[in-house]
Structure formats: structure tokens, C-alpha cells
Chain A
Amino acid sequence: MTNPPAAWIRSIGLIGPGMSDWPACAAILLGKAEWQPEKTVLNAPDQLPPAERRRAVRVVKLALGIGLQATTAAGVDPSGFATVFSSSGGDGVNCHQICETLASDDRQISPTRFHNSVHNAAAGYWGIATGATAASAVLCAYDASFGAGLLEALVQVQVEREPCLLLAYDADYPEPLRAARPIPDAFGVALLLTPEREAESCGRIAASLTDAPADTLPDSALDALRCTIPAARSLPLLAAIAGRRTGRMVLDYLDHARLAVDYAA
């Protein structure tokens, strides 16, 4: 049996409801700050050219926001990394507008809406904003999207022996799709993963499949966030990292399996 895929965590980016960045989230997870779940604030980053800034939809702002937080926190050039983008859906508002137009008497959808509808829109804008020309894997596994992205990123680091930036993010749909897919708000987390320990590494993780049930969070409001936004399935791991708490976390993944993540602070 080979070793499970593993990597060192160099830095973290995070945006969510009432959480503007990773330090704010870490303080909440440690109980040092009270969580005020205000609506997630998303901004198009300055790195995008003006035309792309205007065209950027919410998932694009979210993904670029968390990715740039992670690379800025590490003090590294974002153009240098292979990336894994994992999201349970594309941009909900954009999708709704396309479906509404296609159901109307005039089906001519806008070209910008169409190119924003691809699942890899955020990866495309990331390349344009940062100049990153390395490989980018763009994944979806519905509620398992964080786990699927984490596995792909850890496998890449283990096999290619190169750093990899994981970006897991989800945003809400407007009605009427919201009733069918009730994601309450936008949440995203980026992990910059490296094959070797670096001076500022915040621990090492290794992942494997398990039948054990997923960990929950002691705070019921935070646990509701974990359960309702796929990217927030990462929160038990993030809580361990925030507290530098070595141990095994079980994260929600597919119907038939969870992810056992061993964290060493």
C-alpha cells in the first residue's frame, strides 16, 4: 500500500458570509470572535483588465478573491502555480438569465453570458488576471466538490512534486433555481499546497477514503454553514488548522465515502 496523497499547507484564502478573509474566519472558528453571518461581500480584483472586471460574475469574483488572498498571504507570484478549481455549480445568476432568455420569445443570449456560463469561467479569468499558464483542473462533484478538489490537488502535489493552488467555491442561485438548489450564500476557500515544508507552513495534510461519518462543528450556526454550502464542508479541517490541532478530521464527500484528513500542525 502506498502512502496516501499528502501536502504541506503554505497559506489560506477565504471569503464567506461574515468572513472577509482567513484571519477573520480563524478567529471565529477559535471562538475569539463572534460570527455575524452578514451577506458575503465580493469584489472584482484589480488584477483583471477593465473589460473583464465589468464582465466578472459572482463566482469569478469569489474564486479570484480567495486565490489572491492565498498567494498574497504567502508573498508569492500567483502566476507560478498549477490550479485546481472545484465548485458545485457555475454562476447561478448568469445561469438563471440564460434559461430565462431561452424560455422567452427572443432567445438571443448575450455572448458574455454564454462564455461566463462555462464551469471553467473562474479558471479562465484567473489566467487572464494573473498570467498563469500552468495546468488548471476544473472539477464538480455536487456536494462532494470540496473533497474532490482536495483529492485532486493532493494527488497533483504528490505525483508532480510541484505546488498546487486549490480553489473551492460556491455561490447561490436566485429563484426559481434557489428552491431546487438552496445554497444560502457564497463561500470559498483556497489552499496553497506544497510538496515540501516551508518556513511558514501551517501544517501538513494527508487524505484517504473512509466509511466513518463526517465531523460536525460544535457551533450549530457554523455547522449549518458547513451543511448548506459545499465548499464549507472544509470547516472541520479549517478549525483544526486555526487551532494548530493535530489529529484526524472526517470531511463530507460522496454518498458512499467520506474523506479522512490527517492534519499535523
Chain B
Amino acid sequence: MHPLLISAYTASSCIGRGLEPLREAMIAGRSGLKPCDFETVALQTWIGEVEGTDDERLPVALARFDCRNNRLAQLGLLQDGFADAVRAAMSRYGADRVGLFLGTSTSGILETELAYRRRAPDTGALPADFNYAGTHNTFSLADFVQHWFGLKGPAVVVSSACSSSAKVFASAARMIASGLIDAALVGGVDSLCLTTLYGFNSLELTSSQACRPFDRARDGISIGEGAAFALVERTGDPLPPDAILLLGYGESSDAYHMSSPHPEGRGARQAMEAALARAGLTARDIDYINLHGTATPSNDAAEGKAVTGLFGDATPCSSTKGATGHTLGAAGGIEAVIAALAIRDGFIPAGAGTTDPEAGLDYVLASRHQTVRRVLSNSFGFGGTNCSLILGCPS
């Protein structure tokens, strides 16, 4: 594919707001996880909570969208001058020529979970102030962001569980290639809710401590929340030497099981191979792999097999979910931003939380300062949905 310019990007998670705390944490190996104290949840697990999310006030005209997920979206948009970069793109290309592609898994379903506690005792009706379209519905996130900016182009939410905000880059790249749009606002936002905390607990996939991706003693995920955004556009000429580019994407389906990965990592390997092929690269060209690395025994085993099969044991890799938690539909976006930072500032992120990694990979425990030209980032999800992205600098 023709490379696309990632002209602006930002991410907020339990690590902090915006790029600087994320960069610092990736280098220091700092984690933002803590024991779960979310809402009334009584589970022995750890979470990654974005401090101050519920203090965020939406514009009065957009009150119908008020929910934790959209508060987190706004919090994220306000970091690193990102909103200004979007507005500049809108004036450069026209508001109808900027597409919107956002990922989320649970959107604002927390509002519905809370509303179900306030049903009318006689009729069972939900309270009158409950707004399904503005909060619960999966599209609410993109609907809110579209109205927040006044975007007039195509808008959609990609909701394929934990691959969602990686796959938005693929959809956006295709639509730019089609000529329908000139630029795209992509990203992902997912926020803590009871459905995912109790749901992953029901599958015995949550750890009772901070998650330890690819550790031999790993025993499950830590659920996090986060917001990540990027502005993607056609490359200009000449390219600035410090440009961050989307070089390739690869997508596949496991066709195996709803909640377990293919044991040999078949779909994971297929997605990575497709991303390399689309970028015109080989495995040797990749300087760092940001693993999906959720820290469940089966996910990491399958991904490890796929990575070893394709890359051998020499490519540095780590999962950053020990720092951010697994932010589900926001994970692909946050990890694309981490990839951009690694290229921009020349470092390989530490795999926080892990002390005794599985053999057979160059699993990076402490960050390394070195030139990073190309990063492959993996995002895999329930239902066997896989997406790999390759980011890089101009060659």
C-alpha cells in the first residue's frame, strides 16, 4: 500500500493523560494498574482506571451523549493539541472530506447497567432520563465525536472486541485509497463497566493481581480503560524525516472458537504476514513487536507461537498491557500510539509487570534506547478477529 501519514496522535490511559506520561512510563516500566475499586464491583482483580474521567463535563448541547465512555473520549481529545490538529485538517480538506473511524467494545453500556438498578417497581420500565442512542449504543462514541467537531464525512464505529481500534486504521486507509475522503480521525475509546469486569471474570480470564504478560506465571488480564486518537492523511511531498507513517495492515479471522484463540496462532500469523506483505517488508525489517500480550495463558501461548514461527527469536518484543491494562476496544489505538512514540523517540518499551518471560522470544523487560524504524503492533479479539499494524518512519 501507499504509506499514510499519521500527522497527530494522542493517548490517555491509567498511565496518565496524553503522550508525555505514556512515554515516561514506557521507558521506566511504570504500571498504572491498581486493585479494583470501580463502582460497586466486588472482584479480586486489578484495573487500569483513568483518573478524573467522571469530572469531564460535556458541552451542554451534547448532554444526550453524557456517559463515562464519552467523557473519556473528550478527555482524550483535549490532550496534546490533538483537537486543534483535527480542526486544521477539517479546514484544509473540508469537514465532509474527513472520515471518522472509532473502535469501542462496550461504548456507554455502563449507563444501561446503572439504569437497570432504577427500573420502575411496577412496570419494570427504565428511568425517563435513560438515553439509549446517546450512551449505550455502540455508535454513540462516533456520534458524539462527530458532533463535537462538526465532522460531515462518513462516520462509523468498528466493534470487533479487542481488535477494534487497530482495524479502524485499515478501514480508514481503504477509504482514503478509494478517494472518498482525504483524511481520517481514527482511534478507540473503551471505559470500565460491569459487563466486562464480571464477564471476563466469568470466563476465569482475570488475574487476581496486576497482569504479567508472557510471564511463565501469568494468570489472566487486568482490565483497563483508555482513549487513543490519530489523524491519518495522505503523505505530502517531500516527507519530513521525522514523519510517522502507517506502512501496512493485516487482518484475519481465526474461524476457530468464540473466546479462545487458535492454539497454534494461525490467525495471528496470517494477520502479521498480511501486514508485512502490504507494507512490502519482511520479518527482518521489523525492529520491535508490540504484542497483543493479554497475559492469559492461552492467548500469549498462541501469539508466541505465531511470532516465533514468523520472526524467530531475535526481534525485540513486549506487551505494554502490564502498564496500561487491557483497554479492550481502545488497545489497538493506544498501542499504535506507543509504536509511534517508540519510533519518534528511539526506544523499545519495557514489558512492565513481567519478570520471568517465556523462552523463545527476545522479550524486553527493561526499555532499550535504540533507533526504531519499524514497529509491528498486534491486536486480537474474541470471536477470532485479528489485526496487525506496521508503523514506521520514511526509509
> Does A168 sit at the interface, judged by CB under 8 A?
no
Q: Are A142 and B195 in contact (CB under 8 A)?
A: no
Instruction: Report the nearest A residue to B381, measured CB to CB.
Output: A120
Q: Are A139 and B199 in contact (CB under 8 A)?
A: no
> Does B287 sit at the interface, judged by CB under 8 A?
no
User: Do A130 and B255 form a contact, CB below 8 Å, given A114-B202, A141-B142?
Assistant: yes
Binds A, one of B113-121, B209-217, B223-231, B341-349: B113-121
Interface set of A (CB-CB < 8 Å, partner B) = 1-5, 52, 55, 79, 88-90, 95, 98-100, 102-103, 107-111, 114-121, 123-125, 127-128, 130-142, 144-145, 148, 151-152, 155-156, 158-160, 175-177, 179-181, 208-209, 254, 256-257
CA distance A135 to B117 in the complex (A): 39
User: Do A111 and B384 form a contact, CB below 8 Å, given A119-B138, A257-B152?
Assistant: no
11 contacts between A and B (CB under 8 A): A2-B179, A95-B112, A98-B199, A111-B199, A114-B195, A118-B161, A124-B253, A124-B384, A134-B253, A181-B133, A256-B152
Q: Using A111-B259, A128-B258, A148-B155 as known contacts, list a sample of 17 further A-B pairs with CB atoms less than 8 Å apart, ordered by residue number in A.
A: A52-B258, A114-B199, A114-B200, A115-B203, A117-B199, A119-B159, A119-B161, A124-B258, A128-B257, A134-B253, A137-B160, A142-B137, A142-B138, A145-B139, A159-B174, A180-B126, A181-B137
**Shortest distance from the beta carbon of B327 to any chain A beta carbon, whole Å:** 15
Total chain B interface residues with beta-carbon distance under 8 A: 66
Q: Across chains A and B, which 9 residue pairs bring their CB atoms closest together, nearest first?
A: A124-B383, A2-B179, A114-B199, A135-B251, A127-B255, A119-B159, A103-B116, A140-B138, A180-B132
CA distance A233 to B205 in the complex (A): 39
Residue from the list B125, B252, B381 in contact with A133, Cβ < 8 A: B252
Instruction: Report the nearest B residue to A128, measured CB to CB.
Output: B255
> Does B281 sit at the interface, judged by CB under 8 A?
no
Measured between beta carbons, the chain A residues less than 8 angstroms from B384 are: 124, 127-128
Measured between beta carbons, the chain A residues less than 8 angstroms from B311 are: none
Measured between beta carbons, the chain B residues less than 8 angstroms from A128 are: 255-258, 384
Residue from the list A102, A108, A133, A145 in contact with B270, Cβ < 8 A: A133
User: Do A141 and B171 form a contact, CB below 8 Å, given A121-B258, A124-B385, A177-B132?
Assistant: no
**Shortest distance from the beta carbon of B316 to any chain A beta carbon, whole Å:** 28
User: Do A138 and B160 form a contact, CB below 8 Å, given A148-B154, A159-B174?
Assistant: yes
Measured between beta carbons, the chain A residues less than 8 angstroms from B179 are: 1-3
> Does B198 sit at the interface, judged by CB under 8 A?
yes
Residue from the list A52, A160, A181 in contact with B174, Cβ < 8 A: A160
Q: Are A138 and B202 in contact (CB under 8 A)?
A: no
User: Do A127 and B254 form a contact, CB below 8 Å, given A5-B178, A121-B383?
Assistant: yes
User: Do A139 and B198 form a contact, CB below 8 Å, given A102-B113, A176-B126?
Assistant: no
Measured between beta carbons, the chain B residues less than 8 angstroms from A115 are: 203, 258-259, 382-383
Most buried by A among B194, B199, B266: B199
CA distance A129 to B126 in the complex (A): 37
CA distance A125 to B202 in the complex (A): 20
> Does B143 sit at the interface, judged by CB under 8 A?
yes
Residue from the list B116, B156, B177, B381 in contact with A141, Cβ < 8 A: B156
Residue from the list B140, B167, B259, B381 in contact with A137, Cβ < 8 A: B167
**Shortest distance from the beta carbon of B203 to any chain A beta carbon, whole Å:** 5
Measured between beta carbons, the chain B residues less than 8 angstroms from A180 are: 126, 130-132
Measured between beta carbons, the chain A residues less than 8 angstroms from B170 are: 135, 137
CA distance A137 to B159 in the complex (A): 8
Q: Are B383 and A159 in contact (CB under 8 A)?
A: no
User: Do A118 and B254 form a contact, CB below 8 Å, given A2-B178, A180-B130, A181-B133?
Assistant: no
User: Do A142 and B143 form a contact, CB below 8 Å, given A108-B198, A136-B385?
Assistant: yes
> Does B313 sit at the interface, judged by CB under 8 A?
no
**Shortest distance from the beta carbon of B81 to any chain A beta carbon, whole Å:** 26
**Shortest distance from the beta carbon of B127 to any chain A beta carbon, whole Å:** 10
Measured between beta carbons, the chain A residues less than 8 angstroms from B105 are: 118-119
Measured between beta carbons, the chain A residues less than 8 angstroms from B112 are: 95, 99, 177
